[in-house]
Structures are given as structure tokens and as C-alpha cells.
Structure 1
């Protein structure tokens, strides 16, 4: 197990990078040693907020620092795989924002490289560290919901309208990572259909997934919707549960609802409705928990390869969904 502070260098100071800088900079057991961005003005803009780390416009400066333990990558998605590969080859542990690659072949290469070199490769699937999602997973795996029948996610809003990636690529990784996390299996059948109303890319996408256990899942992804929704619903044969990230008071709600088989003397199915419960959910910041987990993995606590394999499953399934989407275009 590693002793001393884990020294982290951050590449990318756009929209999300400063949030990572804040957490790695404040985290006990970690030291934010480098800030890197190709835009010198961005670096200078963060100098007052983060005066301690060295600053550079060259990613190689991080890789060539023998005292640096890990690199966090929050650059544009198209650069994730290449930068993660360079960091692993330089012997650095890697935290990379989702998705870690755009193609399953690239993701497989990264996972193999990390395992070969004994390095942590952790994709930043933030929702997996949300206390509400942790509670939802607990409900699933404790058996409280009974046998899981189906799962569905709603990730909709009005905007931000994109031109360079469709709703599946922009929004799908969030809910897909949660679905795979809850079910702990990869789908055997996927189907996606979308429509391009505002431009060349799909503004709304509907996805269907079937798993070896018989569970089915659905995702509704859109930036052309009157409702802002960030919701995941799990339906079991004993209870049902909803995680709603937009609800400040009820992050998770458990419904004691189920269908009962008809008795021999009565030929219709009956529904049973019982209590509605709202479990207490921690208000801990998910990003803080995510960064803590990465630092713990670097220090030798836990399975160093599990997060990378889970991230690979997300990339692999997204690729299958995108292929289905392309086949279904009319």
C-alpha cells in the first residue's frame, strides 16, 4: 500500500476541470501538483484560485515528472483515449472523464495496458458515486424490491442543443453506467431509434436493452423536451424504487406496489399498494466521493481494475447502441 499524499496532475481546465481541481486540491491524502491546459489564458484565470500547483500548456511536462503519481484528464472527449494511453505508458495512474474512449477497441486497449502495468484506470462515471444511486443499488441487491423486472431512465431537458454529437453520445453514458451498475451484467440485445429534428444529429433517442437475466431496460434521451428530468426507475416484483436527481427532498422513493397472481377461484390479476417510504440520503458531494475513491485505489485499497472494466462495458454497449441507431435511420 502506498504511503504519503497521492500527487495528481490535472489536464483540462474547461467546464469540468476546475471542479476536479477543487476536489483533488482539498482532499486529504492528495496533492494537486500540476494544472495543464493548452490555453494559457485558462491557466492564468485559475492561478488565483489554485496558486499551489505548477502550471503548463504541455501535457508531457506532467508525464516527465518522476514525482507525479497520477493524471486526471478532463479534456475534450476525442482526446481521452490518446492522453490516457500516453499517461499509462509513462507509468501514471489515470482518472479520465467519461467516456474513456469513443470506440470499444480503444477502451479494451487501455484496460489491457492498465492491467499489464498494474496501474489504476478509472473512468469518471460520476453518478455511480451519488449517494442516491448507492441507495438504489442497495435496494436492488438486498432483494428488498424482489426480482427486478425492468429498469428505465429519463434524461431530458430543453437544451443544450449540440451539433457535433447526438443525444446518445452526449447523454447516454450517464444512465447507461447506472443501469449496468445496478444489474451487474451486459446486455445481449440492444436497439436504438432516434430522430434529427434540428440538424444532422439525433435530438431525441430511445434505447431498449435486454439482459441475460431477463431484465429489460429503456432510456429516453433528449435535449428537446419541456421537462428537465434526471430519473431512474427500478420495478421489482415486490416493490418499486425511483431515484430522482432533480428532487431536492426525495432523491429516492420506495413504493410498496406489486401485482399478485390470481387465485384459482378468481381469474384476474390484482394489484397491491402499500406504504411509500423516503429513505434518508447523504448530501455528500458525488464528485468528492469519486475523487476519494480514485485516491484510495492509487493507495492500493480495493480492486484497481474493476472501474476500468466497468467503464469498458459502458463504451462497448454505447457502441452497440450507436450501430443500432445508424441501422434504424430512415
Structure 2
């Protein structure tokens, strides 16, 4: 790792974001020792300790906090200037950092693949996590989430189909339990509960004819991963509540059966979002263009399918 100029400043900001030299080194694709030496060299040169280090934690010193507060906006301006200069290239280059959830990343992976095939000089750094974060503070160029969860101060680019949740259980489970007809019937069923990244239990949401309900069913099993919830439902341990995207293959194969479908209205689909700043990196602009291109193509295919065929005599 180069230990002069912008690299040292980027290293300090990365450690400040993660409160960890190891995590910062992973982000910057360098060794922990190289990053530590870079930060130490900067501290030695300016004669001030920027971080308080112990064997278990890393925190900003008072001087370090002031340094980061002053340097971060200036470094962002420099990055924007470099991006603007790079936009004159025939093809974009650099790294796009995107924060999303595991489920959303799986759905969007074909677009990521198409993007890298079209722009071979670009790199994607995709970080998946359940919790919502401040993508600006955490150093991401963009995020991908359900539209309804995106902060109001972000620019959102909707794409993809609208999402619906589904209540599903295995044929073996329904061989022993009568299918629920209304959400209140879930009180007599085993429900596989979902724990949110915050630690709270996700309440199943239902709506019909303007009546909205939230159900927190009783269960002996609580999980925090959709794959585990699917496996438990397939094994007949109870009903689970997941998106149609998660359960679609099982419904088609008959390994799971859907109930209460008329109580789960569609929600807004995924969107890419980013901060509304003056300059948008060239790579991000190209990704947005590709997303819109794919959305237009999908709408065109849907329109062709819905157009009635004219019979020829």
C-alpha cells in the first residue's frame, strides 16, 4: 500500500468508519499491517495520535475526530474531481460500493453481471446486510432496497417487479392442520418467526378491503435467515412469511403451499438509491442507465404479451 498522499487519508477515514483496522483493510483490499503502518506514518508526521487503540477496540481521539470532520468533505471533493476527469474516458473505470440486503442482491445479480460484462474496467464491491445504514457515512456510492424503506433525502431509481409476501407451509403440515382462512386463524398455528437485524421480531403484515393487521404468531422457532426459514417450513415445522421471490420455486415444485394470498397486497419493488449531490460518478450513471434500459425492455415484453393477436384469414 502506498503510504503518502490520498492513500493515508483514505486509510484514516476507513478506520474511522469501521472502528477496526482489520475491517478497514478488507474494504481497501490491503493487509492490516500495511494499513496500520500508513496510519502510524501519518500520525508520526503530524505529531498527533488520531486513534486510541486497545487490544479490543479502536476509537477516534479528540484530535482524530476533528481531523476526520475536516478531511472527509475535502476528500469527497477530490474524489468528485477525479471522477469528473475520468468521465472523459471512453468507458468508465473504478469501483462502485453498493450496500444492499442478501435477498435484494440475489435478485439483482443478473444486472450486476450484465454491468461488469458491458464495462470491464469497472469493479463492484457489494456489501449485504439486513440493517439499514447511512450509505454516505459508511462510504457507499449507492444502496439497493425496497422503495418504501429508502430515506426521503435520497434519489431513488425504481426497478423490478412489485413485491408481495406469502404465507406458506408444507403439504405435510397442512395434512395435520386446517389452512387458515383469515389472519386471526394463525393463532391456532405454529408460525416460524423472523428476527430483524435490530433484534426485534418482525410482525406479519396483512391488508384487505382497507383493513390492516399485524400478527406476531407464537412459535417455538425464531430465525433470522430466509434460507433457514424455508428449510424449516419444508420440514413441516410451521408456517413462514417470506417474499414471493423467496418461495416461488417451492410453490412451483409443490414443496410448499400458499395460504391467505388475498390478504397480502403488493408492495413497491426494489430501487437503487444514492445521495442527491451535484456530481454522480460515471460508473454509477452507467449502472442507472443499465437499470432503466432493462426496465424498459421488460415493460416492452409485457406489453407485447398483453397485446391481442389479430387472426389472419
Please give the TM-score of this superposition, normalised by the length of structure 2: 0.29
Quick check: which one's helix share is greater? 2
Larger strand fraction of residues: 1
Whichever of the two has the greater Rg, that structure is 2
Q: Tell me the TM-score normalised to structure 1 length.
A: 0.28
